[in-house]
Amino acid sequence: MAETAALRKLALLHSPSERASKTARALAETLDIVPIEEADTLIALGGDGTMLDALHAMLDGGRKLPVFGMNLGTVGFLMNRNLGVAGLAERIARAKPMTVRPLAMNAVTQDGISHTSYALNEVSLLRETRQTAKVEIAVNGKVRIPELAGDGVLLATPMGSTAYNLSANGPILPLDSHMLALTPISPFRPRRWPGAILPESSRVTFRVREPDKRPVAVVADQKEVRDIAEVHVEIASEIAMTLLFDPGHALDERIVAEQFVH
């Protein structure tokens, strides 16, 4: 039997846009909204950035609640359609859960300081100056690309495969593929290397070559670390995040549909 709306304790998070703020006020008048500490489900109003902010807040130590997003932003790939306030509690009660797991990144800077972070979309290495970046790439301890020269390289989850990865001509990954996309960014050498699709159990290590001349930064979703020496990335298999989608509008269907958009 489907869970009734009355059993849900709903918290609300929204972007600062006028549209999202107006909808949030209307929801607060319609539903019994509780503080996030008391909730079992979170409503996120905005675009994909709002959803990522909500998920990262939970990754950073907050309670890991299922999140139902409603698109009041631009792209809204991670969000459900905006069908208005009426009936939203019932939509949430009928929503289908989808589990996503983040990438865990450990980056070591040139001065030996270690930084850890999580990425739900991708971890990307990017040149800091006009000089081409040169990066060694190893998978599970074995060097696969001794020197990739270009603007950089990224490792994307299936959820993130339609974001920066797609813009860099990387492959779209079905959500249930249990794979990762390793994609070069404007590669110069090897010139025709298209990237690789790796099992999600892979541990990928990037080492920066000629760092004094060719400094490189790493970005885990929204967190940047500059002047890196090496970066280790793998799936954080112990962490599960739950997104809620209207039936028929789950993220795996959107990933399939995105491949037919022109």
Catalytic residues, which ones?
A: 48
Residue 151, annotated ligand binder?
yes
Residue 11, annotated ligand binder?
no
Residue 165, annotated ligand binder?
yes
Residue 167, annotated ligand binder?
yes
Residue 234, annotated ligand binder?
no
Residue 48, annotated ligand binder?
yes
Using alpha carbons only, give the angle 188, 190, 191 rounded to the nearest 5 degrees: 55
Residue 104, annotated ligand binder?
no
State the binding site. 48-49, 121-122, 151, 162-167
State the binding site for NAD(+). 48-49, 121-122, 151, 162-167
